[in-house]
Amino acid sequence: MDGEQALQMLCDPEFKSELVILDLNIPKIPGIALLAQCKPSAPVVVFSSSSNPAEIERAKELGVREFVQKPIDFEEFERVVRRMVQDWVKSAANGTASASD
């Protein structure tokens, strides 16, 4: 629901995830601040409307594996989300960096 809840979940050693899709513009704790505070064990893909080069660079410095801009079109949005999940969950299962690399 917000950055505080995400921080609690991602820093909880009992929480297991194959992929974290993170928006940078979330309430309470922004995505960049969340990444600076907690290093998720799962691959992190930022899915954001931001095109700020400094944000993209900082996210990558904090370990983000991929930065994807949100499409405006709903069908494209759905296609992009499916691709992210398929690529990253598949690559995690195979022990590779990314299915699209």
> What b/e sequence results for 46-82 when a residue is b if at least 16 CB atoms lie within 10 Å of its CB, and e otherwise?
bbbebeeeebbeebeebebbbbeeeeeeeeeeeebbe
How many angstroms separate the Cα of 87 from the Cα of each of 42, 44, 45?
13, 12, 11
pLDDT for 100 equals: 45
Q: What is the pLDDT of residues 8-50, one digit of tens each?
A: 998 888 888 889 999 999 999 999 999 999 988 889 999 999 8
**Is pLDDT of 97 > 70?**
no
